[in-house]
A and B are shown apart, each in its own frame.
Chain A
Amino acid sequence: MTYKITESFVETGEVIEREATADEIKMFQAREKKFADIDKAKLAQAKTKAAAKAALLDRLGITADEAKLLLS
Chain B
Amino acid sequence: MATTTNYGWTTPDDTALVKDGASAIRTLGSSVDTTTKNLNPETTLGDIVYRSSSANVKTRLGIGSTGNVLTVAGGVPTWAAPAVSSSGLVFLNKTDFTASSAVNINDVFSTTYDNYKVMIVGTSTTANKGQATIKMRVSSTDTSTNYVSQKNAAYDANVVAARNEKGTDEGYIGDIAPLDETDVISLDVYRPFLTKETTWIGHSFSTQDTFLVLSGFSQTDKTSFTGFTALFTETSTGSIYSYGYAKA
Contacts and interface: CB of A to CB of B under 8 A. Distances in A.
Interface of A: 3-11, 13, 15, 17, 20, 24, 28, 31-32, 34-35, 38
Interface of B: 66, 92-93, 95-108, 131, 140, 165-167, 227, 231, 233, 235, 240, 242
Given A7-B106, A10-B92, A31-B231, A38 B165 contact: yes
Given A4-B101, A35-B233, A9 B166 contact: no
Q: Report the 3 A-B pairs with minimum CB-CB distance, sorted nearest first.
A: A8-B95, A6-B97, A3-B101
B101 A20 contact: yes
A8 B101 contact: no
Output the residue of B92, B101, B165 with the most chain A CB within 10 A: B101
Mostly, the A contact residues are mixed
Mostly, the B contact residues are strand
A17 B231 contact: no
Contact of A7 (B101, B104, B235): B104
A5 B104 contact: yes
A3 B100 CA distance: 7
23 contacts: A3-B102, A3-B235, A5-B104, A6-B97, A6-B102, A6-B104, A7-B106, A7-B140, A8-B95, A8-B103, A8-B240, A10-B92, A10-B105, A10-B108, A10-B227, A10-B242, A11-B106, A17-B100, A35-B131, A35-B166, A35-B233, A38-B165, A38-B167
Given A15-B95, A34-B167, A35-B233, A5 B106 contact: no
A13 B92 CA distance: 10
Contacts of A10: 92-93, 105-108, 227, 242
Contacts of A28: 101-102
Given A17-B98, A35-B131, A5 B233 contact: no
Nearest to B131: A35
